[in-house]
Chains A and B, each alone.
Chain A
Amino acid sequence: MLLPVNSKCECGHQNAVGTVLCEACGKPLEEQLMKSNEPLEMRYDGVARRSQKANPDFLDKIWNFFSSVKIAIYLIIITFLGAMLGTIFPQASTFISATFNPKVYYSEQYGLAGEIYYFLGLHNTYSSWWFITLLVMIGTSLVICSIDRVLPLYRALNKQQIRKHHAFLKRQKATYSGQVTDEPVQWTKQYGEALKKKGYKVHIDESGTALLAEKNRFSRWGPYINHIGLILFLLAVLARSIPDWNVDTYVSITDGDTVPIVGTNYYVKSDGFSMELYDNDELPIELKDSGRVKTFKTDVVLYECAANCGDDFLQPELKEVKEHTILVNDPLRYKELKLHQFDFNLTPRINAVSPMIINKETGESYGPFHLTMVDPELYYEVGPYSMELIDKYMDFSINSEGEPITLSSSPNAPAFIFNIKGPNLAEDGEMFMYFPLEKDKVRFSQDTINRELANKLEIKVDGMENVDFSAATTYLNVRIDKAVKFLWIGAFFSMLGLIMGTYWQHRRIWLRIDDNQLTLGAHTNKNWFGLRADAAYALKRCGIELDPKSLDNGGHKG
């Protein structure tokens, strides 16, 4: 755009470079614009944007780039297109398995397209450098566009000259010219009174023959308040990358266990997971016996570590802070922490057994003694027997070389090797291998392993009441999102600004009377129908009756 070099108006006001309509009297400053007869472009009241300058330096150039609404729209469109790319295939962040390998997954699942997708880094679109760069640029543009426009607009609206140039008045989209028969000062006053009834603030200049009536100016700040909200929202989104601001992990807890939530100072204990199904009489016929789930729930206790927290040598001191029954959509909430029900596993886990020792030769039985699967006691005195625990396997198996091994650290197939001393046994003791689970006893042929000793001794659990086991494992999703309250605040301001700008309109009516010749102009940002009705209503109260539509000066029927 060519900027007018001489920005001094004939009314004597010195305007800033880039001003379209004189800041004081409203006269169009560009010669070409003055000659035309089209309705005036009233955007930002014709004032110059803050950054418009005759000789921009480097900083100004950067500033002007971000100050452009055109650039802002391009940025938004590019961001939309980029965001669309991220929806073609699932994002890598949606997979929670520790063994998930995106490199393999995308090419296996989607072939060449998947390989290209992964190669371009689109599996992490929303945390990629270019996407974040776009967001940062939009944020910068929001701030700079707003500053550049809101400050001059505020100044322009804060000290408005009442008497406007004829060209300004006649070239509004709602305008009227006519003769006034009454005394001009009296007429102006009467017109003002009528508009006051419509809720306008009325200003009349010293001569008493020029008037400015204005209503709902605050709605002009709506878009800027909306922008402040959006900036807060964007900052909150970016703040999620600050360490500890956004935690999204999973814990698995077997009934009765207390586990640390790594990355926080919390521990959580499960008092048991349970699943309830609908009874058949609660279900419609089609769904009978289909096993519909009624509730998934986990009773948990949340602990905060009070001492020895970062230290795994000493036992942490835990302080109970909250108890809660977690249901779907009813997470445990404590400060910023939330624990959601996520998954479950109904495989039971054996924790301890209390077996008896039976002397097969005499039929006498002794005990029971308590044997835990994890960290068991190493010595046991049971009746006449003394036993030393020599070795144990949590998940017993035999490897390819025929050696006993453990397949995992979970007690899926526990096995214990005791050295037992007692009546009718060798002095140094005899080795006895014990499988607490009945199925393992058979699978690994306990009796064959123990040979003759199997005929002398038996270790046996008597009834389920002597078995301590956990029925289920619950999986909880751990969420901490410190940014979420700022998201809400941002959303609130954004909405507030939208409402201000949507449901109210800034209406202004100017008039001047020169030798009984009335010139009236009116402007609003929307709802011209209402504005014209207001202007016509007040004219009628002053004796000029006309169809509000006749005020229209340029295709604004609405």
Chain B
Amino acid sequence: MKDMDDQIPRTLPIQSATFSNPINAEIRRAAATGIYDIRGGGAKRKVPHFDDLLFLGASVSRYPLEGYRERCDTSVTLGTRFAKKPIELDIPITIAGMSFGALSGPAKEALGRGASAAGTSTTTGDGGMTPEERGHSTKLVYQYLPSRYGMNPNDLRKADAIEIVVGQGAKPGGGGMLLGQKISDRVAEMRTLPKGIDQRSACRHPDWTGPDDLEIKILELREITDWQVPIYVKVGATRPYYDTALAVKAGADVVVMDGMQGGTAATQDVFIEHVGLPTLSCIRPAVQALQDLGVHREVQLVISGGIRTGADVAKALALGADAVAIGTAALVALGDNDPKWESEYQKLGTTTGAYDDWHEGQDPAGITTQDPELAARLDPVDAGRRLRNYLKVMTLEAQTIARACGHNHLHNLEPEDLCALTMEAAAMARVPLAGTSWYPGKEGF
């Protein structure tokens, strides 16, 4: 009888797509601890992204520019609407806001060094401006956040631009928390709070509510800074058309739109994965709002959230953005999640490429930490050089694509240069599905 049983074909074990191993592991972890998972980074789920778009390149109707010979400009000026001193950048790739506190001092210095060497700007983050960061950044954007940690008029006037942060893509509508283990003496002093306690970053500004108030807040900041520097408004992507329109109405020089793949130092995983819009889906509505108000290119649009390559840059610009901002990619360029630290990632229960407990302050790469020994692992000069190289490569890649499409400036890329590989991407980017002249929502197919 047993021999017969062995001969009966068996049903293969089938893993549930709904109750997958990662889901079940999270249920067990939640049941054991009673607390949700907190992590850094952005959305890890697969969402329609720039990979779902392709450039068409030159053809009979379009001729390309010669690589290595014919010029393809990359410069961009941000803040041309009201500021006396707009920011002029050599490349349309900026460094997004990341705080001293979330990041180590050497990491912030490296970001400034790399950005400056590549001819672009970097951004402070929550917790204020450090002298090292200002000193190593040719162009520094000062974030004006709900917490107002470290905010003071002297630093405000040292900034090359001010970015009013309404939200970020990883957690639109959410604040932040810097856990006590990352609160060194210096971080505590900058934030006017005791060392070692969790520091809550508020989810909304303490002294304004809504677009009408924002307009007055922008007026105040301009009056304090003599209308010298551009004022950006950064929003997490949720209602990109209306948020862009309201930011313009409130007087923004630049709108920064951050999609859900954009990273954060720490927040609940459920927030990161289930709130907000994919970056790809928010560009065209934001551009539409600018066009409807007659200010496209006068009010610049910066897109962030999952930008990794020159192709991503070119695609964002082709859809109408003026520039992009990178955060996670910049950290990877510095050395975050580098395989050389694999044995230490294993000790932390993770692996290269998956390490995201940035809030715990144990980063083997010495980037998302305030531990002096770990932070010393990052040489800001070498790391800054790596970031510069990476920014240069992204720029070269974007130029390569633009020349192939026949454009002598990255800003001449346009939606007509693109097609989509999926229906979802076609609908979001409003470019034709590959091989067709149609996208969902377009009449007349």
A and B associate: no
Where the two chains meet, the residues of A that have a C-beta atom closer than 8 Å to any C-beta of B are: none
Where the two chains meet, the residues of B that have a C-beta atom closer than 8 Å to any C-beta of A are: none
